[in-house]
Amino acid sequence: MRNILSIFWREYKSYFVSPVAYVVIGVFVFLVANRFMYKFADPTEGFIQVTFQSISDALSRQETMPKFSINDFVIRYIFQQIRSISLFLLPMITMRLFAEERKSGTLELLLTSPVTITQLVLGKFLAGFALFFTMILPTGLFYFFLFKYGNPDLGPILTSYLGTVLYGAAVISVGLLISSLTENQIIAGALTFGAFLFLWIIGRISESTYTVWGKVASYVSVTTHFDNFAMGIVDSRDVLFYLSFAFLGLFLTYQAIASLRWR
């Protein structure tokens, strides 16, 4: 356990030595904040404007006050944006985890040290996951405004964050695997971006077709399994899918690093 924590802390600190962490976190928060302001407080289409306009129309027509769901209008939308935006920023987090070690030659030293491959893989995975968690943590400030101006349900917010964490673990394991296959960070980042784009496209296909292929795409899509969490539903099948996906990515990463000993 001590070796895992040592590797984790070394990798996590190294993110903040370079501009990578600051750029990723800054861009992510800016884009999510932009989407939040558009959906919540936009002068023409935001939740506040739509709510007041609809209430005004109901009063003028002497109709029953309409019921609005801030969960459907804002929360689900924002977490879907968090999911999509993070998908295209995570390659910057994972591309260096093993590629940099291979290029500098320090991976060979680690493989001959008392550190096991399992400890090495888990330590680097936890470092990437911790930076992802650090990245999404500031988004909690946005929901202060939701509770100030509305009365949202806490349940969907918590389940959405749970889904985001599980989703992040799954896709980070893919990035870790790709980083272990090359010593070039740029190639690792490009391949990871392509893989994440493929996962996103599969999700879009599953939403646009109801054929057998659409059902298959829906089952294997990391984005589709997120939808239940965004609606406040914790389905054990979705949890198991993300955990299995992450385990598979870590297992293949282990095999990729273990194979280097025989080269």
- pLDDT, tens digit (0-9, with 9 covering 90-100), for 107-145: 777 777 788 888 899 999 999 999 999 999 988 887 777
Output 19 or 108, whichever has higher pLDDT. 19
Residue type, 119: Q
Alpha carbons 221 and 101: distance in angstroms, whole number: 31
- Residue 224 above 50 pLDDT? yes
**pLDDT class of 255 with cuts at 50, 70, 90:** very high
Question: In what helix (H) or strand (E) does residue 77 lie, and over which residues does it extend?
Answer: helix 76-94
| Residue that the structure tokens 């296909």 belong to | 205
pLDDT computed for residue 207 by the predictor:
61
Handedness of CA 7, 10, 12, 18 (dihedral sign): negative
For residue 20, give the 3-state DSSP assignment.
Answer: helix
| CB atoms inside a 10 Å sphere around CB 168 | 26
Alpha carbons 23 and 14: distance in angstroms, whole number: 14
Least-confidence region, from 25-39, 176-190, 231-245: 25-39
Alpha carbons 170 and 244: distance in angstroms, whole number: 8
- Residue-wise DSSP of 204-219: HHHHH--SHHHHHHHH
pLDDT computed for residue 150 by the predictor:
66
Mean pLDDT of 218-230: 78
Question: What pTM was estimated for this model as a whole?
Answer: 0.81
Q: What's the mean per-residue pLDDT of the chain?
A: 79
Mean pLDDT of 3-25: 88
- What percentage of the chain exceeds 90 in pLDDT? 22
- pLDDT, tens digit (0-9, with 9 covering 90-100), for 46-99: 444 444 444 444 444 554 444 445 555 577 778 888 888 888 888 888 888 888
Q: Where are the alpha helices (DSSP H) in the chain?
A: 2-17, 20-40, 47-60, 70, 76-94, 99-104, 106-111, 117-136, 142-149, 154-179, 185-208, 212-220, 227-230, 236-259
Mean pLDDT of 217-244: 83
Output 197 or 262, whichever has higher pLDDT. 197
- Look at phi and psi of residue 233 and say left if phi exceeds 0, alpha if psi is from -120 to 50, else beta: beta
